Amino acid sequence: MSETPTLPPIVAAIRESRRALARLLTRIENNAAAADLAALYPHGGKAHLIGVTGAPGTGKSSLVNSMAKAYRAEGKTVSILAVDPTSPFSGGAVLGDRIRMRDLHGDAGVFIRSMATRGNLGGIARTTADMIRALDAAAFDVILIETVGAGQSEVEIASAAHTTLVVEAPGLGDDVQAIKAGILEIADILVVNKADNPGVESTLRALRAMLDLGHRAERIMHHGQLMSVPAAAVVGEDEAWQTPIVQTVATNGTGIGGLLAKIAEHRAYLRESGVQTLRERASLNAEISERLRELLLARLIERVGVARLQALIERAILREIDPSSAAALLLAEGVQE
Amino acid sequence: MSETPTLPPIVAAIRESRRALARLLTRIENNAAAADLAALYPHGGKAHLIGVTGAPGTGKSSLVNSMAKAYRAEGKTVSILAVDPTSPFSGGAVLGDRIRMRDLHGDAGVFIRSMATRGNLGGIARTTADMIRALDAAAFDVILIETVGAGQSEVEIASAAHTTLVVEAPGLGDDVQAIKAGILEIADILVVNKADNPGVESTLRALRAMLDLGHRAERIMHHGQLMSVPAAAVVGEDEAWQTPIVQTVATNGTGIGGLLAKIAEHRAYLRESGVQTLRERASLNAEISERLRELLLARLIERVGVARLQALIERAILREIDPSSAAALLLAEGVQE
């Protein structure tokens, strides 16, 4: 982690001190790091971001630990961001932190942070993305983003990663498989962990069948619109990434080397195909638009007054005006030109 | 379903003709029904909206069918809206439609609509809410909103209902239970379906333990802000709704009468406690704000030009500007006063 005298103070601080980094992440969680994030941004973009998602019981946390150890053995610095978006109101369990601590504690090249949920899904996705930017500016080579669960939330969070791993395990039952049909479409690499367990053959068969049906989707900009299209439509049928299935036994390290090789291959694909830039463009478009929406709304409410909004809500409760007309009215009142 | 000469044509049409209603729902799915929705709005608000969510394998669809039949026996008209938000890109499986058709087909007092997913989570929640408004204006007494899965998506969709049922079943395993910790917080009534299956006692014990730990949350407005707070903080500890656990066997109708009685009790609670109005206020606030954000962004992009946004995205890809500063710049350029 090199330092140059031209670095902004916050970047120098988080590259030098784990404590400064931890404090910055807390400020990000509390939405109090806007200026820092702007200063960090030019100094990021070098880390490889790896999303790891899958249902509880797949051994995701052990896999993440094994991967971290393998990257460390290659001399790479690693940070792990564990996000639990399953409990929308009260924050979820902290992900396998005890195991993690035992395995990785004391290695200065590894930094671990857990985030229980706060606020709505959009807020979690935003906070996660900002935290990743901080870890990226702190010059980690690899950032592992671990999410628990198998729903839309994971799709949102995984979309911040360059390479997304979806973890399965034998014997979790058909129900879990059914939930994950959508998740497969975001998988760059499928990992069957606990591959020494009975039933691994039927899990592999089920996953191969699903891969035959579905396709990795890419989110791109098309005529100024964000669209989700099959990857083959972006880079051509022959060049499109074929989602591989990798078998691992995280607890004894089996298959981890092969997994890291596949991840490196995917990283090269993203760069050579131009897909990485397409994704960045789509994701920046979504982020800038979202920030603009918030700024514009705050400005409008300031102009018309929150009491005016509340009065229209009361009229809508009485069914005197519909919500869409109420919004149009507030717009007209707020943008007197 | 009475008609008066003063009804707007679209309201008269959907109350008279199932085909007109089906066509309207398709227009809503295609985002081409804005004027109709405004005309409908004053003529809704009478139906009781019941959300039914739970993991696959709980017998949710059979339960919804049993409930529909029981409401029909009481002389009430029923519509069922089945939403599958698990597959974010390609649309999911249609929910138990074959069984449903066999049981309920040919009864003019029942209307069934399935919706596979389109677009993002926000879009699905918006379309679902608009469809519910159409069914409401069509004067159904009861609207059953069925969602598959157990994630954040279901929370969003369930928040459109007055009474939310979370369905469990014995023997689905600890993993599924773990996923649903957050879902319990949105449950007004817990239903243990397949209550004649082995293992029902341990499922009941697990649910009771979870209810002891968690609390039903309410989303309310507080000083103009949307907040999620424990229900007891809104209506007082003694008056707060205590989530009951109801056992059913949907396939033979056992427990369905008791379930409908609990739903009626919850409906009375919502009205008498004032919680229904608090929820409507929060939900209208969120909807009007969201619509305003979209209107404001569209107006701003029209003013500065989409090319200007795209140019800033390219600069952000090169890390010459951060997304937040790019948004602030566009705001300043777009609101020249």
The CA distances from residue A122 to A125, A143, A155, A286, in Å, are 5, 21, 12, 12
Q: Which residue has the tokens 């407005």?
A: B221
Q: What is the pLDDT of residue A90?
A: 34
CB contact under 8 A, B288 and A327: yes
CB contact under 8 A, B313 and A281: yes
Cβ-proximal residues to A100 (8 Å cutoff; 6+ apart), any chain: A61, A64, A65, A80, A112
The alpha carbon of A62 is separated from its chain's Cα centroid by a whole number of angstroms, namely: 19
CATH number at residue A13: 3.40.50.300
Q: What is the pLDDT of residue A212?
A: 76
Say yes or no: B173 contacts chain A, CB-CB below 8 A: yes
A224, with CB counted inside 10 A (0-12, 13-18, 19+), is exposed
CB contact under 8 A, B320 and A293: no
The Cα A306–Cα A23 span in angstroms is 34
Give me the percent of chain B exceeding a pLDDT of 70.
76
- Residues in chain A predicted with pLDDT less than 50, given as ranges, are 87-96, 98, 174-179, 337
CB contact under 8 A, B86 and A182: yes
Asked whether residue A257 is domain-assigned, the answer is: yes
Q: State the best of B46, B84, B289, B294 to mutate against chain A, taking most chain A CBs within 10 Å.
A: B289
3-state secondary structure chain A: CCCCCCCCHHHHHHHHCHHHHHHHHHHHHCCCCHHHHHHHHHHCCCCEEEEEEECCCCCHHHHHHHHHHHHHHCCCCEEEEEEECCCCCCCCCCCCHHHHHHHHCCCCCEEEEEEECCCCHHHHHHHHHHHHHHHHHCCCCEEEEEEEECCHHHHHHHCCCCEEEEEECCCCCHHHHHHCCCHHHHCCEEEECCCCCCCHHHHHHHHHHHHHHCCCEEEEEECCEEEEEEHHHHHCCCCCCCCCEEECECCCCECHHHHHHHHHHHHHHHHHHCHHHHHHHHHHHHHHHHHHHHHHHHHHHHHHCHHHHHHHHHHHHCCCCCHHHHHHHHHHHHCCC
Give the Cβ contact number of residue A239 at 10 Å. Answer: 14
Residues A264 and A295 in one domain: no
Q: Which helix (DSSP H) or strand (DSSP E) does residue B166 occupy?
A: strand B163-168
CB contact under 8 A, A88 and B155: yes
Say yes or no: B293 contacts chain A, CB-CB below 8 A: yes
pLDDT in tens, A21-72: 999 999 998 888 989 999 999 999 999 999 998 877 788 889 999 999 999 9
Q: CA of B107, closest CA in chain A: separation in Å?
A: 31
Which residue from A34, A43, A280 is facing B317, i.e. has the nearest CB? A280
Q: What average pLDDT does range B34-45 have in this prediction? A: 94
The alpha carbon of B184 is separated from its chain's Cα centroid by a whole number of angstroms, namely: 15
Residues B74 and B166 in one domain: yes
Q: What is the pLDDT of residue B299?
A: 94
Under 8 Å CB pairs connecting chains A and B tally to: 221
Q: CA of B238, closest CA in chain A: separation in Å?
A: 22
Asked whether residue B1 is domain-assigned, the answer is: no
Say yes or no: A41 contacts chain B, CB-CB below 8 A: yes
Average pLDDT, chain A: 83
pLDDT in tens, B142-159: 999 998 755 556 666 666
Q: CA of A259, closest CA in chain B: separation in Å?
A: 25
The Cα A310–Cα B285 span in angstroms is 8
**Domain that residue A307 falls in:** 291-336
Residues A35 and A142 in one domain: yes
Asked whether residue B278 is domain-assigned, the answer is: no
- Please say which residue of A243, A273, A303 terminates a domain: A273
Sign of CA dihedral A280, A283, A285, A290: negative
Name every chain A residue with its beta carbon within 8 A of the beta carbon of B87: 181-182, 185
The Cα A160–Cα A125 span in angstroms is 8
Residues B307 and B218 in one domain: no
CB contact under 8 A, B151 and A149: yes
Q: Chain A 196-215, CB below 8 Å of chain B: which residues?
A: 214
pLDDT in tens, B233-268: 777 777 788 889 999 999 999 999 999 999 999 999
CB contact under 8 A, A179 and B86: yes
3-state secondary structure of B12: helix
Q: What is this model's ipTM?
A: 0.83
Confidence tier at B96 by pLDDT (50, 70, 90): very low
CB contact under 8 A, A296 and B294: no
Q: CA of A49, closest CA in chain B: separation in Å?
A: 16
Give the Cβ contact number of residue B285 at 10 Å. Answer: 22
Say yes or no: B31 contacts chain A, CB-CB below 8 A: no
Q: Chain B 225-244, CB below 8 Å of chain A: which residues?
A: 228
pLDDT in tens, B281-316: 988 998 899 899 999 999 999 999 999 999 999 999
Say yes or no: A333 contacts chain B, CB-CB below 8 A: no
pLDDT in tens, B106-130: 788 999 998 866 555 567 778 888 9
Q: What is the pLDDT of residue A17?
A: 94
| Domain count along chain B | 2
Residues B305 and B257 in one domain: no
Residues B237 and B320 in one domain: no
Q: Chain A 86-145, CB below 8 Å of chain B: which residues?
A: 86-90, 92, 121
Its pTM stands at: 0.78
The CA distances from residue B179 to B9, B54, B151, B158, B173, in Å, are 46, 10, 8, 16, 11
Using CA coordinates, name the residue in chain B closest to A222.
B310
Name every chain B residue with its beta carbon within 8 A of the beta carbon of A173: 173
Residues B106 and B160 in one domain: yes
- Please say which residue of A221, A239, A273 terminates a domain: A273
Residues A226 and A112 in one domain: yes
pLDDT in tens, B187-205: 899 999 999 999 899 888 8
Name every chain A residue with its beta carbon within 8 A of the beta carbon of B130: none
Residues A83 and A209 in one domain: yes
Which residue from A89, A224, A292 is facing B182, i.e. has the nearest CB? A89
Residues A94 and A213 in one domain: yes
Q: Could you tell me if A277 and B317 are in contact, meaning their C-beta atoms sit under 8 angstroms apart?
A: yes
Q: CA of B38, closest CA in chain A: separation in Å?
A: 6
The Cα B59–Cα B63 span in angstroms is 6
Q: What is the pLDDT of residue A228?
A: 63
Residues B112 and B261 in one domain: yes
- Please say which residue of A231, A246, A273 terminates a domain: A273
Residues B138 and B258 in one domain: yes
Name every chain B residue with its beta carbon within 8 A of the beta carbon of A328: 295
Backbone angles phi, psi at B160, to 5 degrees: -80, -15
Name every chain B residue with its beta carbon within 8 A of the beta carbon of A37: 322, 324
**Tokens in use for A128?**
């996660």
Cβ-proximal residues to B6 (8 Å cutoff; 6+ apart), any chain: none
Say yes or no: B302 contacts chain A, CB-CB below 8 A: no
Asked whether residue B228 is domain-assigned, the answer is: yes
A19, with CB counted inside 10 A (0-12, 13-18, 19+), is exposed
Name every chain A residue with its beta carbon within 8 A of the beta carbon of B289: 297, 309
Asked whether residue B84 is domain-assigned, the answer is: yes
